[in-house]
Structure 1
Amino acid sequence: MDSTTRLFKHYIIPFILLAIGATIAAFALEEFLVPFTILDGGVVGVSMIVSKYVPIQLGVLTIIINIPFLYMGYRRLGGLFLIKSVFAMVVFSIMLGIFEDMEPVTDKEILVVVFGGVLLGIGVGLILKSGGCLDGTETVALLMSRRMDLSTGQIVLGFNVVIYGVAGVLFGLDRALYSLLTYFITSKVIDIIEHGMEQAKAVMIITDHAEEIADRIHAQLGRTCTAMEGYGRISSTKKTVLYCVITRIEVSTIKKIIHDADGSAFVTISDVSEIVGAHIKKKKEPARKVQASKAQGSAKRVPDQDHVDRAKSTVSDNHPKRP
């Protein structure tokens, strides 16, 4: 990758996405949420409350209240995070001023909640995915979680419960409930923007028909499996354990493949929050058989999440028995 391509990919494109995200977020607030006193969470939510009583523009308030959080984020995440966040906030503030005098898109509150939440989620999601932020409360929550027996998400939720509680007192219970629903929609859309529609699933299969199942998975889904040699502690029998990462829309297909090949296989399916390195895009090579290795520590490689490793492990067989 030459320097021009690297510059474009790592700097120019992210800042374009930051500007687009900030514009969409500003549009969602001014054209949907603000006219109906429906609040976002975090710093933006606090700014929306304060702006009702102080003659300062919402975008300016967001920057002012975010300053201490940005400082903490700079110390933890570095100067590029600070630059991206300030850039996003400046664009956000400018676009809020532009959209402020425009008429709301709709006067139907349910449409305001749904489409305002979706658009806000898209905007904030693009900003987060590009390495910036509009809301510094997550940085504080991350630091607090190190000193408290709570996760970052729980602390952020606690912040927002307080904000919506204040909104309920100041603006009425219905405003707080609408705001809470908007927050839920926004959070879900942010997750989709950050992690994609095809959420990854990890499948663990303990079976006596590993080769057949692995071949079918590769043939039908274009994926292969990591095959591990397991040992039942109680039955003293050897088992093959297959591990495969798929998308959620492929779950029903892989379950049928496993059931058809081995109705007594023991299967667990769990969420994968992040994949580092090899992706899970489908391979177009023809299916290859998973070859067992007799020698301890040997490995056979076939394309998957670029390869299939055969490793030796000990697996307990005290899982629930099928009737």
Structure 2
Amino acid sequence: MKSIIKNGIQIIMGAMVYALAINYFLIPNRIGEGGVTGLTALGYYTLRIPPALTNFVLNGILILVGFKFLKRETVFYSLWAVLWISIFLRVPVFLPFHTSQTIIAAITGGTLMGISMGLIFRAKGTIAGSTILAKIVNRYLGIRNGSAMLFFDLTVAIPSGFVIGFQNMLLTVLELYISAVVLNKYLDAFGAKRSVLVLSKKNQAIGEALSDNLGQGVTMLKATGFYSQQDMDALFYVCSNRDWTAVMPIIMSVDPEALVVTDQIRSVRGFRLPDL
């Protein structure tokens, strides 16, 4: 329950930042968006359809698609996000940011969008729209969320030039690129995983030290040296960026001569690796 409340509050915060970017920076300067948000902006520019209404209806349809491919938990958190985004989009706008230097609005809006989606993604939700599709692609193909989302968003943003003009279309592409970069950096900083492969004669002791200090299972693999043809154990470990700062000191304290190979992981399925 504590985790549900925490995620729910974080999604509300992300929804507030998202609506702030749309209502205060993008719409006042006729900058579009991608995915459903882009269609929402186009609906407002051409037909004056309230963004909250378009957002709720179109995203509701895409969330139904999410039921087939995503975890139920993700779908319900996404519904919570769409609800609060629609609420915040209806809040009256005071002092919108108008400027002749529209690139400032594009950069600021893109940064805020990336932060808002990072908050919502970290809370196990999405903002529906292209983020639903990005989550599906990330889950099954391992492509980073921000990169997948940028691809889907551009399919809406580029044709929007016929409505908002070529210059504003270029600013929209810039805003989408910035939001994708910020989202990837945010998720890398707070949610990415690292894999560690250790080759050492003391792998058993290293595995025990990692498990005792960090409380997570360690996998031992069988390996054979190519030249020596000697059998040995290889230790494989997956950890968060937060735990990563403790991993190397633990390994070095047991065996300073250990060979350690690390890599950043785009996608991990399951809560933890099995302790084989």
Q: Aligned-residue CA RMSD in angstroms?
A: 4.4
The farther-off stretch of 20-29 and 88-97 is 88-97
Q: Tell whether the 8 Å contact from 2:198 to 2:236 is kept in structure 1 after alignment.
A: yes
The reply on whether 1:22 has 2:15 as its aligned counterpart is yes
Q: Which runs of 5+ in 2 are unaligned?
A: none
- Please give the residue correspondences for 1:1-323 in structure 2 after superposition, counting only pairs within 5 Å: 6=1, 8-10=2-4, 12-74=5-67, 84-104=77-97, 108-139=101-132, 156-191=149-184, 193-194=186-187, 196-197=189-190, 199-207=192-200, 210=203, 214=206, 226-232=219-225, 235-245=228-238, 250=245, 261-262=256-257, 265=259, 267-272=260-265, 273-274=267-268, 276-277=270-271
**By how many angstroms is 1:188 displaced?**
3.6
The farther-off stretch of 44-53 and 114-123 is 114-123
**By how many angstroms is 1:53 displaced?**
0.4
The farther-off stretch of 183-192 and 114-123 is 183-192
Question: Aligned in 2, Cα 1:210/1:82: closer, same or farther, shift over 3 Å?
Answer: closer
**By how many angstroms is 1:21 displaced?**
1.9
**What SS does the corresponding residue of 1:14 show, helix, strand or coil?**
helix
**What SS does the corresponding residue of 2:236 show, helix, strand or coil?**
strand
Structure 1 length as normaliser, TM-score?
0.62
Which amino acid is 1:136 matched to? G
Give the whole-Å Cα distance in 1 for the aligned partners of 2:78 and 2:191: 28
Instruction: Name the % identity.
Output: 21
Question: Aligned in 2, Cα 1:48/1:277: closer, same or farther, shift over 3 Å?
Answer: same
Question: Aligned in 2, Cα 1:116/1:103: closer, same or farther, shift over 3 Å?
Answer: same
Which amino acid is 2:178 matched to? I
1:174-230 deviation per Cα after TM superposition (whole angstroms, max 9, x unaligned) = 323322232233234334555643733212133456579x49x97xxx669655442
Q: Tell whether the 8 Å contact from 1:69 to 1:136 is kept in structure 2 after alignment.
A: yes
Give the whole-Å Cα distance in 1 for the aligned partners of 2:169 and 2:199: 49
Which amino acid is 2:21 matched to? A
Question: Aligned in 2, Cα 1:257/1:181: closer, same or farther, shift over 3 Å?
Answer: farther
**By how many angstroms is 1:152 displaced?**
9.5
Question: Aligned in 2, Cα 1:152/1:56: closer, same or farther, shift over 3 Å?
Answer: same
**By how many angstroms is 1:75 displaced?**
5.3
Give the whole-Å Cα distance in 1 for the aligned partners of 2:262 and 2:142: 26
Greater length-normalized contact order (CA 8 Å, ≥ 6 residues apart): 2
Which amino acid is 2:167 matched to? D
Question: Aligned in 2, Cα 1:243/1:152: closer, same or farther, shift over 3 Å?
Answer: closer
Q: Tell whether the 8 Å contact from 2:31 to 2:164 is kept in structure 1 after alignment.
A: no
Give the whole-Å Cα distance in 1 for the aligned partners of 2:220 and 2:80: 47
Q: Tell whether the 8 Å contact from 1:42 to 1:135 is kept in structure 2 after alignment.
A: no
Give the whole-Å Cα distance in 2 for the aligned partners of 1:200 and 1:141: 18
Question: Aligned in 2, Cα 1:108/1:274: closer, same or farther, shift over 3 Å?
Answer: farther
Structure with higher helix content: 2
Give the whole-Å Cα distance in 2 for the aligned partners of 1:206 and 1:78: 36
**By how many angstroms is 1:77 displaced?**
5.1
The farther-off stretch of 129-138 and 65-74 is 129-138
Q: Which runs of 5+ in 1 are unaligned?
A: 1-5, 279-304, 312-323
Question: Aligned in 2, Cα 1:194/1:105: closer, same or farther, shift over 3 Å?
Answer: farther
Give the whole-Å Cα distance in 1 for the aligned partners of 2:239 and 2:38: 37
1:280-299 deviation per Cα after TM superposition (whole angstroms, max 9, x unaligned) = xxxxxxxxxxxxxxxxxxxx
Q: Tell whether the 8 Å contact from 1:26 to 1:99 is kept in structure 2 after alignment.
A: no
Question: Aligned in 2, Cα 1:76/1:242: closer, same or farther, shift over 3 Å?
Answer: closer
Give the whole-Å Cα distance in 2 for the aligned partners of 1:152 and 1:139: 13
Q: Tell whether the 8 Å contact from 1:209 to 1:261 is kept in structure 2 after alignment.
A: no
